[in-house]
């Protein structure tokens, strides 16, 4: 696994992941009352947090994108 996620990208991914998890499980917005939107937001939030933690994005690897300095 090659590191391809930089620091700023990592922070943004982590913040977006936490925000999506909070919206999915803590928010009382009507959009997140339904099952599909709620669990889709939770799944995307978990993926964002995991990619921020391991500093590797599979989609970046496919397209050859690197946001980190080497």
- The sign of the CA dihedral 16, 17, 19, 24 is positive
Band of the pLDDT at 24, cuts 50, 70, 90? Answer: very high
Residue 24 inside a domain? The answer is: yes
Is residue 70 scored above 80 in pLDDT? no
Residue 70 inside a domain? The answer is: no
Q: Over the chain, what is the mean pLDDT?
A: 92
Number of domains in the chain: 1
Domain range for 43:
7-63
Percentage above 70 pLDDT, the chain? 100
């Amino acid at each position: 696994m090659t590191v391809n996620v930089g620091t700023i990208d990592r922070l943004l991914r982590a913040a977006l992941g936490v925000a999506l998890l909070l919206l999915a499980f803590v928010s009382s917005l009507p959009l997140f009352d339904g099952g599909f939107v709620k669990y889709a937001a939770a799944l995307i939030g978990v993926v964002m947090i995991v990619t921020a933690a391991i500093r590797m994005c599979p989609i970046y690897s496919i397209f050859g994108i690197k946001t980190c300095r080497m």
